[in-house]
Structure 1
Amino acid sequence: MPRPPTQRLTIRDIAQRAGVSESAVSLALNDRPGVSPATRERIRRLADQLGWRPSVAARALAGEGSATVGLVFARSISPLGVSSFFLQLMVGIQEALSHRGFGLLFQVVDGPDAECAAYRRMWAEHRVDGVLVVDPRLDDPRFEVLAELGLPAVVIGALTRSTNETEAESESDGGRLRVSQVWADDARAMAEIVDHLHELGHRRIVHIAGPAELAHTQRRVQSLRHEAERLGLVDARSIITDYSEDEGVAATVSVLAERVRPTAIVYDSDVQAVAALGAAAERRLSVPDDLSVVAWDDSVLCRSTRPRLAALVRDTVGFGRRAAEELLDLLDGGPAVTTEFDRPHLVPRGSIGPAPA
């Protein structure tokens, strides 16, 4: 009689079918000495026919890994739940992991300290073989923990100078930090936006940015400042927010109420950029005749508004896929590497126009 479909196949089942001991099955399936080649081949063939797969817990206890990688987000769940960037990133990560039969352990926590605690717990419990690290920060505490644990990792995003120094120090001191990174040039992307707006006659540009502690926020802020100085823009500045719709709208209402308001606003969040269209309409401002609007990452939201939002476009699914592939390479014993992914490029749409006279 066949086993009920909800019952998990065990080594004992295989031993009974093969007419051998459970220890013989264990030795054969784990490619260890103690059984003859003929018996080993017979047991393996039977296991394949029955659809047997090794228990993740058993593999962990045997020191053979968990076939799982971790991904921890230290962000508020509300903006994260509607972020097109992170949803597409997850799709790419899952594609690469599924191809190799790896699982993904995903958690959302409330800050860097909780994220470090999650890494310690995952590693101590043999739940992950490595982790994907997002949102590199200034003076990032996570890399010291990764080095202490010897936990392989891939950073999605460029590391800060201080983090790179920490990595170098760890290697020179015989540390165990094994970190690759996959990054895109946010600074060049911001420069492209500013240059395009400048060519259209815009001189008053506001950047509604993300959290100040994130490295990519600082790169975008500094790039805007650098381009403004180069082009002689005396009224270009960044305003820090938490990526949420509420803070984006509040910042938009504030700058549009100024006596000399901006002629163009660049948003680090597509959700904030969409919400800003409503804030502009309430003040009877036309987009793009009175105000040009740019979203940092493209999404279906950007393509569904009227006018459609100009946005930075990138292969976010491919970005996530590449990061996961680099982590799998690390787990296969490969060296830590730094990989620059394709830079986001501006796609001008109906929300960008010449600066008002």
Structure 2
Amino acid sequence: MSAPAVSYALNDRPGVSDETRARVRAIAERLGWVPNRAARALSDGRAGAIGLVIDRPARVLGVEPYFMQLVSGIQDALADGTTALLLQVTDNAETELALYRRWWAERRVDGVLLVDLRADDPRISLVTELGLPAVVLGEPVADDGPPCVWTDDAVAMAAVLEHLAGLGHRRVGRVAGPPEFVHTRTRTRAFAEQTRRWGLTAAPVVNADYGAQDAARATARLLAEPDPPTALVFDNDVMAVAAVGVAQELGRSVPDDLSIVAWDDSPLCGLVRPALTAVDRPIFERGAAAVRVLAEVVDGGAPGHLRTADPVLVPRGAPARRGDRPSRTLTLNRLIG
């Protein structure tokens, strides 16, 4: 039997009879042969890989559970092994752009996933110019850009502020991520809208880099104000956990004196003491959905934006309503009276 006939049989191509195809496959199975997926991808003009660049400092990325959950969802969608994930970490925007150019020039990827969308993000124009298939993990900001897989952060912020208002808080602060990110701006805008809606006073929004040290400094700054907030909302779990230690060092009990809410629930929020109220977003599902949408783009489709399930607030360790709780001064007076 000729080599082309064997190839046709194993790759489901016309040119051989059903009887020959069945005989070749039986022999291949008996010999333990498996197809070379890389070679098959090349023959189809495909790289057999998708790319993901995470532009974050390694010291921050190494302790942030968000990206581990996201990559887990991406890998789950790639579990059949026909497509690999090419992952690169950098802390330089120009390096990230250069990676996309090189990957596409060398056909090392069939498409890319874009995270941490920025205002006027140069990556959008670059992938459009290159013709590089792409999917954005973030909210839509332009009608003519790549498809987006996104979660409505405004819905989450509404739930957070309603929860804090229900506990009797009147002054709420926020430690946000880097201001250039679109999702930071969305949350900041929603924070301002929801504090007005619930009649709350918004303390200054302080931006940080998602790391514990930056968050500690931001927390200390907010709590040192003449009229400090009684509740703080953080843009990730690492920063919220760091704030617990700062509050305790400053003599603030969590959650009795200070309520803390973390964005993106993770094991950290449940393990720290006291456990933290957190926003639970479908991060794993979002990563898997982005891979499926990208596969459609690579195949020549034009899928629309995909909005995931709304976030859910997970309350933990909430204090009694602030209006129902005696002040520390009153309690002390009773004890010594």
Match of 1:277 in 2: 244
Q: Is it true that 1:206 corresponds to 2:187 in the alignment?
A: no
Match of 1:343 in 2: 310
Q: Is it true that 1:143 corresponds to 2:135 in the alignment?
A: no
Q: Is it true that 1:243 corresponds to 2:210 in the alignment?
A: yes
Q: How does 1:279-294 map to 2 (within 5 A)?
A: 279-294=246-261
Distance 1:351 1:272 in 2: 19
Structure 1 contact 245–271 (Cα < 8 Å) conserved:
yes
Amino acid at match of 2:75: Q
Q: How far is the alpha carbon of 1:78 from its aligned partner? A: 1.8
Structure 1 contact 74–109 (Cα < 8 Å) conserved:
yes
Question: Which 10-residue stretch deviates more, 246-255 or 46-55?
Answer: 46-55
- The 1:338/1:264 distance shift into structure 2, 3 A limit, reads same
Structure 1 contact 291–355 (Cα < 8 Å) conserved:
no
Question: Which 10-residue stretch deviates more, 287-296 or 312-321?
Answer: 312-321
Q: Is it true that 1:86 corresponds to 2:53 in the alignment?
A: no
Q: How far is the alpha carbon of 1:257 from its aligned partner? A: 1.5
Gaps of 5+ in 2: 328-337
Match of 1:314 in 2: 281
Secondary structure of the corresponding residue to residue 312 of structure 1: strand
Match of 2:57 in 1: 76
Amino acid at match of 2:116: D
Q: Is it true that 1:158 corresponds to 2:158 in the alignment?
A: no
Work out the percentage of aligned pairs sharing the same amino acid: 48
Amino acid at match of 1:102: T
Question: Which 10-residue stretch deviates more, 191-200 or 62-71?
Answer: 62-71
Q: How does 1:106-121 map to 2 (within 5 A)?
A: 106-121=87-102
Amino acid at match of 1:321: A
Structure 1 contact 79–243 (Cα < 8 Å) conserved:
yes
Distance 2:289 2:274 in 1: 33
2:108 is aligned, of 113, 127, 131, to 127
Secondary structure of the corresponding residue to residue 206 of structure 2: strand
Gaps of 5+ in 1: 1-19, 168-178
Match of 2:194 in 1: 227
Q: How does 1:43-58 map to 2 (within 5 A)?
A: 43-58=24-39
Q: Is it true that 1:215 corresponds to 2:196 in the alignment?
A: no
Distance 1:351 1:200 in 2: 8
Number of equivalences: 324
Q: How far is the alpha carbon of 1:48 from its aligned partner? A: 4.3
Match of 1:181 in 2: 148
Question: Which 10-residue stretch deviates more, 244-253 or 190-199?
Answer: 190-199
Match of 1:170 in 2: none
Match of 2:235 in 1: 268
Amino acid at match of 2:250: R
Q: Is it true that 1:299 corresponds to 2:280 in the alignment?
A: no
- The 1:64/1:37 distance shift into structure 2, 3 A limit, reads farther
- The 1:126/1:342 distance shift into structure 2, 3 A limit, reads same
Distance 1:58 1:44 in 2: 18
- The 1:309/1:327 distance shift into structure 2, 3 A limit, reads same
Structure 2 contact 151–281 (Cα < 8 Å) conserved:
no
1:71-99 Cα offsets, whole Å, 9 max, x none, are 11111122222222211111111111113
Distance 1:353 1:252 in 2: 23
Distance 2:58 2:320 in 1: 34
What is the TM-score of this pair, normalised by structure 2? 0.87
Q: How far is the alpha carbon of 1:334 from its aligned partner? A: 3.3
Structure 1 contact 312–344 (Cα < 8 Å) conserved:
yes
Structure 1 contact 244–272 (Cα < 8 Å) conserved:
yes
What is the TM-score of this pair, normalised by structure 1? 0.83
1:263-290 Cα offsets, whole Å, 9 max, x none, are 0001111111111111111111111111
Q: How far is the alpha carbon of 1:230 from its aligned partner? A: 3.0
Q: How far is the alpha carbon of 1:166 from its aligned partner? A: 4.8
Structure 2 contact 178–184 (Cα < 8 Å) conserved:
yes
Distance 1:58 1:99 in 2: 17
Q: How far is the alpha carbon of 1:350 from its aligned partner? A: 0.8
- The 1:103/1:33 distance shift into structure 2, 3 A limit, reads same
Distance 2:17 2:221 in 1: 78
1:218-256 Cα offsets, whole Å, 9 max, x none, are 000011111223334343331111101110001011111
Distance 1:166 1:329 in 2: 17
- The 1:75/1:340 distance shift into structure 2, 3 A limit, reads same
Q: How far is the alpha carbon of 1:260 from its aligned partner? A: 1.4
Secondary structure of the corresponding residue to residue 286 of structure 2: helix
